[in-house]
Amino acid sequence: ETGVTQSPTHLIKTRGQQVTLRCSSQSGHNTVSWYQQALGQGPQFIFQYYREEENGRGNFPPRFSGLQFPNYSSELNVNALELDDSALYLCASSLAQGAYYGYTFGSGTRLTVV
Amino acid sequence: TQLLEQSPQFLSIQEGENLTVYCNSSSVFSSLQWYRQEPGEGPVLLVTVVTGGEVKKLKRLTFQFGDARKDSSLHITAAQPGDTGLYLCAGAGTGGFKTIFGAGTRLFVKA
């Protein structure tokens, strides 16, 4: 059973640029959730994808967008990067009721915006 | 807006001591999870509690869900340096799809 894989592990971008983060879900999991974790904080919910559709969104602006593919892998895209976007971005996979039973997280992508 | 407050924010103890971490909210959750996160890694699920008053034990860790399903506690007996890490509580709302996290308790166990 493979776990959740995220790429890249680290990334440095300039303010105003765009970035794409990738996530391969755990085998058998059909739901992917993305979280942003700033230094010293708990993870903040960005959005969730189920059956290739956005299935709920947290308090993040539209420049945060995502995709889920037929193999359940997912991408997080952030446009017009701001300095405050610097954080650890976590992907979590689960079955459809994952919010109830808990998630399997990847190791995250550390994004630094300069 | 659902919020989860964890206390204490930081705890530094000697090996062999006991400790309790608290997770409180004014909201009711359908389930509550505890995760442990180490530097540079994602959170790892320790336990899920779903029934008010439920108590679960995982070796030296004891988890309790409040009767009203608004709060939870994590008790560690005879802490070891390997218990060092960030402990996060997370609540799943009645809406189903969204899990919110507390800010975490950073535990450091000195040998």
Instruction: Write out pLDDT tens, residues A62-102.
Output: 999 999 999 999 999 999 999 999 999 999 998 876 678 88
Render pLDDT for A47-66 as a digit per residue (tens, 0 to 9): 999 989 998 899 999 999 99
Integer-rounded Cα Rg, in Å, for chain B is: 13
Write out chain B's pLDDT in tens, 111 residues.
668 999 999 999 999 999 999 999 998 998 999 999 998 899 999 999 999 999 999 999 999 999 999 999 999 999 999 999 999 999 987 665 678 999 999 999 999
Cα(A58)–Cα(A53) distance, integer angstroms: 15
B39 touches chain A (CB under 8 A): no
Render pLDDT for A5-34 as a digit per residue (tens, 0 to 9): 999 999 999 999 999 999 999 988 899 999
Of residues B89, B87, B106, B82, the one with CA closest to residue B16: B82
pLDDT at B94: 64
pLDDT at B98: 79
B44 touches chain A (CB under 8 A): yes
CA distance A105 to chain B (A): 6
Angle at Cα A89 formed by Cα A21 and Cα B93, nearest 5°?
120
Name the DSSP letter for residue B85.
Answer: E
pLDDT at A83: 98
pLDDT at B8: 97
- B48 and A106 within 8 Å at the Cβ level: the answer is no
A-chain residue closest to B87, CA distance: A42
Q: pLDDT-derived band of residue A1, with 50, 70 and 90 as boundaries?
A: low
pLDDT at B1: 63
The answer to whether the bond into A8 is cis (omega within 30° of 0) is yes
